[in-house]
Chains A and B, each alone.
Chain A
Amino acid sequence: MIMNPILSIQNIRRDFKMGDETVHALRGVSFDIYPGEFVTIMGTSGSGKSTMLNILGCMDKPTSGEYILDGQHTEKLKRDALAKIRSKKLGFVFQSYNLLSRTTAIENVELPLLYNSSVSAAERHRRAIEALKMVGLESRMNHLPNQLSGGQQQRVAIARALVNDPVIILADEATGNLDTRTSYEIMMIFQELNRQGKTIAFVTHEPDIATFSGRTITLRDGLLKKDVKNENVQDAKAAFEALPPPETFEEE
């Protein structure tokens, strides 16, 4: 069976002008991601992985090259059209959660749907609860971010990324602010979502996080260095259970 890729980038270049100098953040990168894949994008700082994620997330446009997301060319789109793509087709999970403070978990989750006028208030609420159930936080939906632990906040953020039923979830160092136990818990959620058919692109610089994914793309100096299938995917749940018991002062 030949599947169409969910996203396809062809010879992407991205140059930044810094004064007189031009920085080549990406120097011609190509790869496809297919539905149901769990891909980690690895690289050291300066490798171009953040630039890549910004382009994949339709927040930045390549200097040259093609980016086809869900069958749609995005290179020539205007700001508003890109915003619409982000609203309908993408889900973001950030390193620092980026939840709105003094706003309840459920309201944070509802947020992306506010920018989609075809979703009614009742529908918005229903879908937000559903998304919170998927990350196991329906009992905390009326809590404010500062009443939640880091792991719980990130789970709210994952629910927010799920609520608009995106074609791909883009995670940017989503475990970067979390301790190992919590990181593994978050990876369990991502693995579970992937098992349910969600396509995930996960940017990280931690090699052990990459072992939970089915495929790893490594960037270096703006070029694709490696793109390997992971034959031996580690189960996050097993890894979590193998960890030594938590210290008493630790949260969660």
Chain B
Amino acid sequence: MNPLTLIKIALKALLRNRMRTFLSVLGIVIGVAAVIAMVAMGEGSRISIKEQMTAMGSNAIIIMPNRDRRGGVQMESNSELLEEADIIAIRENATYIDGVSPMMTVGGQAIVGNNNSPTTLSGISADYLKIRNYEIEDGVMFDDVTDRMSKVCVIGQTVVKNLFPEGDPIGKTIRYKNIPLKVIGTLKAKGSGDFGQDNDDVIFTPYQTVMRRFSATTNIRQIFANSIGEGYAEKATEEIMNILKERRGWTKPVDPFRIFTQEEMIQTITSTSDMISLVLTIIAGISLFVGGIGIMNIMYVSVTERTKEIGLRMAIGARGKDIMFQFLFESVIISLLGGIIGIALGIAASEIVKIAFNMPMSVSVTSVIVSFAVCFATGVFFGWYPARKASRLDPIEALRFE
């Protein structure tokens, strides 16, 4: 019997039991939609982390004092403060380091005329741009030596928008905590990271300016550095730690500083998010499996119900495999129909979640193709036994069946 005729027969049988077909299809729809949405969620967060990584600068290393707290009391014994000399030491001695910059932040309002912006002021050295992948759009970056302690700043695009709506900020002055800072450069837009921070809402000024004029301290809270390339993070970390310890003659077994590498952070975040999306996908997969069991169940009912029809078809010349394919086509049609609707629903759900909850979702072509293939396999797998049962019926017995 030709496949087209078989499909027609199968479709007819399915249309005869619309409600039953609808419910079987629904089981698959829910399963597939769930799988698509879960995979989209996992893919979305993976992509967003990756974007984060590039925005952050994938080779970035952050050095901080070791805050060893016990019972709410900060134990400084195992910690040391960072200072300017550390930066100079790293810059001069480290071989796996490409750039190094302190990070000193001051909170406050930046004011220009009637406009103001609650932007954090960051005291940095020129290397910071390369560490964090910032680029100058207009004007120039300040120089660590010649602009030491000068009242200059470089600003991100959000600040430009907020404080200089009419544009052209170069040469103008921003007041920050009553100290005037002259804008000498603007940064190219970087966009926002998915952790919510706006990478363009920044005001950079030389760190010595912050030390002397804003916070009156020589303690550095954080040092940012840049390893020479991917895969050198570990060596660079070790080297920095040794330089810092050597300067202090540190001999205790506990390190006085904590060093984070971007690579480590990415790995931690991705592995957690991978785990979550794997678990969710497995749960969604189980619901697809349950949908498959639904198909199997309904196919068994269908075969039993139509025993007499099967007997008749055999009596008038249907071979076992004609009967087998007739029923197999029914289950495959159910599962593929469920697959198509489920994929559409899953994509729609992903888009809705993306828009309504502002979550990163990404439907991958692979997940759509795999879902479709899995649906086909589900139809064949769960339709197989009922169809085989039908094909092996004895026509005499089947005709006698009431």
Query: Which residues does chain B contribute within 8 Å of A92, judged by CB atoms?
Result: 315-316
A112 within 8 Å of B (CB atoms): yes
A115 (CB) vs chain B CBs: closest residue? B317
Near A by CB (< 8 A), chain B positions 1-52 give 1-2, 5, 9, 12, 16
Let me know if B319 and A80 touch, CB within 8 A.
Answer: yes
A177 within 8 Å of B (CB atoms): no
Let me know if B316 and A112 touch, CB within 8 A.
Answer: yes
1/0 contact string of A109-125 vs chain B (CB within 8 Å): 00110111100000000
How far is A115 from B316 in the complex, measured between Cα atoms in Å? Answer: 8
Near A by CB (< 8 A), chain B positions 307-329 give 308-309, 311-322
Query: Which residues does chain A contribute within 8 Å of B312, judged by CB atoms?
Result: 94, 98, 100
Let me know if B319 and A84 touch, CB within 8 A.
Answer: yes
B395 within 8 Å of A (CB atoms): yes
Pick from A60, A87, A98: contact of B396, CB below 8 A. A60
A92 (CB) vs chain B CBs: closest residue? B315
A47 within 8 Å of B (CB atoms): no
Q: DSSP class of B's interface residues: helix, strand, loop or mixed?
A: helix
Let me know if A115 and B396 touch, CB within 8 A.
Answer: no
Let me know if B396 and A59 touch, CB within 8 A.
Answer: yes
Let me know if A86 and B315 touch, CB within 8 A.
Answer: yes
A215 within 8 Å of B (CB atoms): no
Pick from B317, B319, B399: contact of A94, CB below 8 A. B399
Pick from A60, A79, A111: contact of B319, CB below 8 A. A79
Query: Which residues does chain A contribute within 8 Å of B309, judged by CB atoms?
Result: 100
A54 within 8 Å of B (CB atoms): yes
Residues A115 and B1 in contact in the complex (CB < 8 Å), given A54-B396, A79-B320, A98-B399: yes
How far is A54 from B321 in the complex, measured between Cα atoms in Å? Answer: 21
How far is A160 from B313 in the complex, measured between Cα atoms in Å? Answer: 12
How far is A115 from B9 in the complex, measured between Cα atoms in Å? Answer: 12
Pick from A60, A83, A102: contact of B317, CB below 8 A. A83
Let me know if B317 and A84 touch, CB within 8 A.
Answer: yes
| Interface bin, chain B | 20 to 34
Let me know if B317 and A112 touch, CB within 8 A.
Answer: yes
Q: Shortest CB–CB separation between residue A48 and chain B, in angstroms?
A: 14
Let me know if B399 and A102 touch, CB within 8 A.
Answer: no
A88 within 8 Å of B (CB atoms): yes
How far is A94 from B399 in the complex, measured between Cα atoms in Å? Answer: 10
Pick from B16, B317, B399: contact of A116, CB below 8 A. B317
A164 within 8 Å of B (CB atoms): yes
Query: Which residues does chain B contribute within 8 Å of A164, judged by CB atoms?
Result: 316-317
Q: Shortest CB–CB separation between residue B164 and chain A, in angstroms?
A: 77
Query: Which residues does chain B contribute within 8 Å of A86, judged by CB atoms?
Result: 314-317
How far is A149 from B386 in the complex, measured between Cα atoms in Å? Answer: 34
Let me know if B308 and A83 touch, CB within 8 A.
Answer: no
Query: Which residues does chain A contribute within 8 Å of B313, judged by CB atoms?
Result: 111, 115
A121 (CB) vs chain B CBs: closest residue? B5
Let me know if A87 and B317 touch, CB within 8 A.
Answer: yes
A157 (CB) vs chain B CBs: closest residue? B312
Near B by CB (< 8 A), chain A positions 17-58 give 54, 57
Query: Which residues does chain B contribute within 8 Å of A87, judged by CB atoms?
Result: 316-318
How far is A66 from B159 in the complex, measured between Cα atoms in Å? Answer: 100
B397 (CB) vs chain A CBs: closest residue? A59
Let me know if A114 and B1 touch, CB within 8 A.
Answer: yes
1/0 contact string of A61-105 vs chain B (CB within 8 Å): 000000000000000000110011011100010100010101100
Query: Which residues does chain B contribute within 8 Å of A100, judged by CB atoms?
Result: 309, 312
Residues A83 and B314 in contact in the complex (CB < 8 Å), given A60-B396, A115-B319: yes
Let me know if A102 and B314 touch, CB within 8 A.
Answer: no
Pick from A60, A79, A111: contact of B316, CB below 8 A. A111
Q: Shortest CB–CB separation between residue A15 and chain B, in angstroms?
A: 15
Query: Which residues does chain B contribute within 8 Å of A60, judged by CB atoms?
Result: 396
Q: Shortest CB–CB separation between residue A17 and chain B, in angstroms?
A: 14
How far is A112 from B316 in the complex, measured between Cα atoms in Å? Answer: 5
Query: Which residues does chain A contribute within 8 Å of B318, judged by CB atoms?
Result: 83, 87, 115
Q: Shortest CB–CB separation between residue A53 and chain B, in angstroms?
A: 10
Query: Which residues does chain A contribute within 8 Å of B315, judged by CB atoms?
Result: 57, 59, 86, 92, 98
Query: Which residues does chain A contribute within 8 Å of B2, judged by CB atoms?
Result: 117
Q: Shortest CB–CB separation between residue B343 and chain A, in angstroms?
A: 32
Let me know if B316 and A59 touch, CB within 8 A.
Answer: no
1/0 contact string of B311-355 vs chain A (CB within 8 Å): 111111111111000000000000000000000000000000000
Let me know if A80 and B320 touch, CB within 8 A.
Answer: yes
Q: Shortest CB–CB separation between residue B390 and chain A, in angstroms?
A: 14
Of listed A86, A100, A114, residue having the most chain B CB within 10 A = A114
> 26 A–B contact pairs at CB < 8 A?
A54-B396, A57-B315, A59-B314, A59-B396, A80-B320, A83-B314, A83-B317, A83-B322, A86-B316, A87-B317, A87-B318, A88-B317, A94-B312, A94-B399, A98-B312, A98-B399, A100-B309, A102-B16, A103-B12, A112-B317, A114-B1, A114-B5, A115-B318, A115-B319, A160-B316, A164-B316
The 3 closest A-B pairs by CB, nearest first: A87-B317, A115-B317, A112-B316
A-to-B contact residues, CB < 8 Å: 54, 57, 59-60, 79-80, 83-84, 86-88, 92, 94, 98, 100, 102-103, 111-112, 114-117, 160, 164
Known A86-B316, A103-B12; further 15 A-B contacts with Cβ < 8 A: A54-B396, A59-B314, A59-B315, A59-B395, A59-B396, A79-B319, A80-B321, A87-B317, A88-B317, A92-B315, A111-B316, A114-B1, A114-B9, A115-B1, A115-B322
